[in-house]
Chain A
Amino acid sequence: MLLLILPGSAIAELDIHDAWIKNLPPAVPVRAGYMTIHNTRANAVSIIVIRSAAFTSVEIHRTIAEDGMMRMEPVPTLVIEPDSSVQLEPGGLHLMMMNPAEPTKPGDVLQIVIELDDGSTQSLNMTVKK
C-alpha cells in the first residue's frame, strides 16, 4: 500500500504573536498596529494585502529616523524570509490602520485578514492597548 503525501497540501500559517493596536482618542482617525511575525516555512512569504472590517484600510508602513528627521514610508509588500521573524514595533514597521469603524478602547479585540502572495489568507485578532 502506497501512502501518497501531497506536498504543499497543508499550508502552514504564519506564526504571529503579541499583536496589538495602540489606542488613541476617537478624534484621531488612525491607529498603529504591531506584532511579531515568524515564517516557519522553508520559503519566503510576502504579505501583499491586509483587510479589516474594523478599518477602512490597513497598510504596512515603516518609520525611518534619519539625520534627526522622522518620516514614514509605505511598504506595499512585506517579505519574510524562511525561518525568520519580522518585528512590527514602535519606531519601525507598523500597521497604519485608517478610520476605525468604532471608537477604540483598551481591551477591544479587532480582527484583520492577512493575504499572502501565494493566495492564502489568515485572520488575526489584535488587542487594543493604551
Chain B
Amino acid sequence: MNKSSIAIVALLALVGGASISWFLNSNKPVELEDGLWFGEQARALPEFELVNHNNQPLTRSSLIGKWNLIFFGYTHCPDICPASLQTMAEMFTAIEDPDVLEAIQVYFVSVDPERDNPEILAAYVTYFNPAFIGATAPLKKLTPLTRSLGIAHDIRNKSEASTNYDVDHSSAIVLINPQAEFAGLFGAPHDALTLARDMTRIVEHN
C-alpha cells in the first residue's frame, strides 16, 4: 500500500471508531433546564465500596446500566434531606414514560455512618419510595466517592459521647451515567417537575 492509502485507511478507521464510540457512549449533548451536563467531560468514578440498606456492597459496578441520581445527607436531618427525597419521589410520579422510570435509580448516601446503619437507612429511604436505595460506609471509605464527586461533608459540634450533632453536606444531586461516569449535577434548590423533564431528556437522548 502507498502512503496516501494508509492515510485514508487510518482516517476511515479513526472516523469509524469514533462513530461507534459515539453510539456506545451516553454523553451526547443535552440541553438541561436546570442542571449541569458534562457531556464529553463525563469522567469515570474511582473504585469505592459502600454498604447499601440491604447490607450488600454498593460499588462502582453496582451503578452500571442505570442513570443514577445520588443525594448525600443524613437521617437526623429533619428538614432538607426529607425535602430532597420527597422531591425525588415526586419526580418519579411526574415521569410518564415507563422506560425512563425503569432507567433511573435513586440513591441516598449517608455521610453520618455512626448513626445511620442499614436498618435505619432502609426505613428512611423506602418511606419516600420503595425503590430508593440507601447506603453508607465508614468515613474513610466514603471519601474516595465523595471526593471524586466534589461532595463535601463535615460533622459539626460533636463531642465524644454525643448522639445529637449536625452534619454539613453538599446540596447537589449528582448524576452517574450507565457507564458509571460522573455525568452531571443538579444544584439546589431542586424542583420535581424540572428534574422529571431533565431526566426524561437525558434518558431519551442517550
Quick one: given A28-B75, A70-B168, A70-B170, are A63 and B80 in contact (CB under 8 Å)? yes
Does A128 reach chain B (CB closer than 8 Å)?
no
B76 interface neighbour in A28, A63, A90, Cβ under 8 Å: A28
**Contact stretch, chosen from B13-21, B58-66, B97-105, B116-124:** B116-124
B109-142 to A contact mask, C-beta < 8 Å, 1/0: 0000000000110011001000000000000000
Is B152 part of the contact surface with A, judged by Cβ < 8 Å? Answer: yes
A24 close to B (CB within 8 Å)? yes
Interface size in chain A (residues, C-beta < 8 A):
24
Give the contacts of A24-38 with B (CB-CB under 8 A). Answer: 24-32
Q: Is the CB of B78 within 8 A of A30?
A: yes
B127 — which chain A residues lie within 8 A by C-beta? 24-25
B171 interfacial by beta-carbon distance below 8 Å: yes
Task: Assess A69 versus B169: contact at CB under 8 Å? Given A25-B124, A26-B123, A27-B120.
Answer: yes
User: Is B168 a contact of A69 with CB atoms below 8 Å?
Assistant: yes
A119 at the interface (CB under 8 A from B): no
**Chain A residues in the interface with B (C-beta under 8 A):** 22, 24-32, 61, 63, 65, 68-72, 90-91, 94, 96-98
* Known A25-B123, A25-B124, A69-B171; further 14 A-B contacts with Cβ < 8 A: A22-B79, A27-B119, A28-B75, A28-B78, A28-B124, A29-B76, A61-B79, A63-B80, A69-B168, A70-B77, A70-B171, A70-B188, A72-B79, A96-B79
